[in-house]
Structure 1
Amino acid sequence: MKAWMLDEPGKPLALCDEPVPEPRRGAVLLRMEAVPLLSYTRAYLEGKLPYAFPPGPFSPGTNGVGRIEAVGEGVFGFRKGQRVAVNPYWRADETVGEPEQVLIGLTGISAGSAPMLADFPHGTLRELAEFPVSTLVALDGLETMSSTRLASLGKFSVPFGGLRRGRLTAGETVVVNGAGGYFGSAAVVAALALGASRVVAAGRRAQALAPLVELGRGRVKSVVLTGDAAGDVAAIREAAGGGADLAFDMVGHASDADATLAALRSLRRNGRLVLMGSMEVPLPIPYGEMLINNWELIGNFMYTRADYLALVALVASGQLSLDSVDIAAYAFAQLESAIDRAGSAQGLQCTVVSSEVERGWD
């Protein structure tokens, strides 16, 4: 089979001939059909991010959609030929206080996760890929949707998990900070699907927010952040109709805390703020304001299996449409061009490498 391999960060990717693995006990072998690319894939491959890499050479790639080619022993709920999504967030299935965890095909997370990375080092950018069965999500009920379109589920899974952790209830008002970004834009769409009565899309680029307002059909208001702390808070609160029930922070690599604090201060009394971004500076928490307003601050990493199943159910029922995502699809052999395209994607755009574009790897 063909597989994209990386010897070590900073070295070029190579399309290689690799032996077809046999699925181990508790694992399955997938024939990959579509793989979405993260916007920072190029920086990751070049070793510019502080990640714990799998032992090389390995195939990168996190999320994806594929069909089960073979099932290992001890797998009971999946069958050959079934189409599934790959969830790269793998947690050790052990009854301990803090089980080890990794993002397969990307990085280790917990301090002792190196053995997990070594056990399943390969991600989704290969023709046939082996994964622990606990990382798969059944896509039953979505047979009429292309794998290329379904690959955009990975764009929604992260913010969807955060919104559910924040206990978003139908009828509530939500502020999304970083709404013009890759995951932030998906958070707006997901909040609408979960029943938010109003979503305030906050970001620094009006052009990236405009499509979200149009998509919301009156339920989405945009606020272009200026950096003026008091002014931004006032603008968000006004757009929220006096204040929000839930604020969701999804800003990537923020160099200051101003926008996050503006989202916090836009909350009504008893409001919640979910943190899922990647701020590079400390967040100064206003102790007295937190206390007097009964505000709740929630840090959340990724999502649960139940979150992913709920996301698939929303898509299958038509309550969340993946058609809102603008997909740029490339053949697997065009990976380098796809990586460049992913790096320039904005808002509801998503870059996918797919066998549906060009069958085969040659």
Structure 2
Amino acid sequence: MTKNIEVVVIGGGYAGVMAANRLTQRDDVTVTLINPRPGFVHRIRLHQLVGGSGDAVVGYREILAEGLRLVVDSVTRIDATGHSVTLADGGTLGYDYLIYAVGSGSADPSVPGAAEYAYPIASLEEAQRLRQVLDAAPATAAVTVVGAGATGIEVATELAEEGRTVTLVCGKGLNPYLHPQVRRKIAKRLDKLGVIVIEGPSAKVTAVTRDAVRLGDGRTVPSEVTIWTAGFSVPDLAARSGLSTDAAGRLLTDETLTSVDDDRIVAAGDSAAPSNLPLRMSCQSANPLGAHAADTVLARIAGQRPATISVGFFGQCISLGHGVATVQLASKNDIANRFSLGGRLGAKIKKSSFTGLIEQLAHEAHKPGSYTWKFKDAKRPERLQAERGEAPAVR
């Protein structure tokens, strides 16, 4: 009797679920998905959970393939030599191949007082805790959102529409990813909602107290509820397990997403650093990277050479309150341009992303191997050559 091939997927986010589902297209592959929660967290809706306008949890049985084993636990160590993982409950699981899709979370703030008095929102538990804090706070309580990337803007607009007094502090400027023309449009929307925007180098937060945020130029911003959305970090599981990582802690891989240390370990999503040139952390890249990671494992099982990644972007969708959104368009290699979609069309596209991502996972569960991605970055090989100081290929 032929022995089944055991594949363990660590992390049940977008990339992990996509990878796990896709692996089930082979009958001789047994897939185990390990995740610390029994429900799927739809992270791009956490701002709605904070604002009280939506939920962010989906039942795993809605998006996981039949026969796929779900283990609700955390991995504390990967033993690459022994091909096993150690769980928080003390148990171990062996594997033939491992997909590392641990995702990302809130960055650990180094600003004095931020860990004690500011509320991050990158995880379900953090968002739920903040929602409870806001429910308990007076409607007139001053709210300060630190960090003006997409998450900061979405939270600020949600709470402003709720009637909150909101200040948005952005030490590096209002969402640096945006094209200046699109940034001005979003600034107008924030102003219309009454959100006070403080930006520029002098607006760098230097301290957080129980009732205020202090800035680099000496100003003090009153804040009864401070929300921290500045940056993301990845779990240190790979580093703790002795695997090679980049400076941010993402697993170092080649262009097939295979670990530079072990060809039985493949990474996907926010925790992957292919060729030390990682893609922007986002749900846009998560599903394609998850699918590609599974394809790499399947190719190795079949004795074939895995393909290299080609994952592109279309831009960035940003909610600006109930029924309003802006879609910043970009090149496939993720450079924002001056074009954007707003109004009802922008809101429709943003809303469709909420359902679309889940539908992609569910469809892959029912028809593994069917998912394809439209946006591919043909210029990535050229950027890799530039990073390595290599001469361009002759055509």
TM-score bin (small chain): 0.3 to 0.5
Scaled by the length of structure 2, the TM-score of the pair is: 0.31
| TM-score, structure 1 as length reference | 0.33
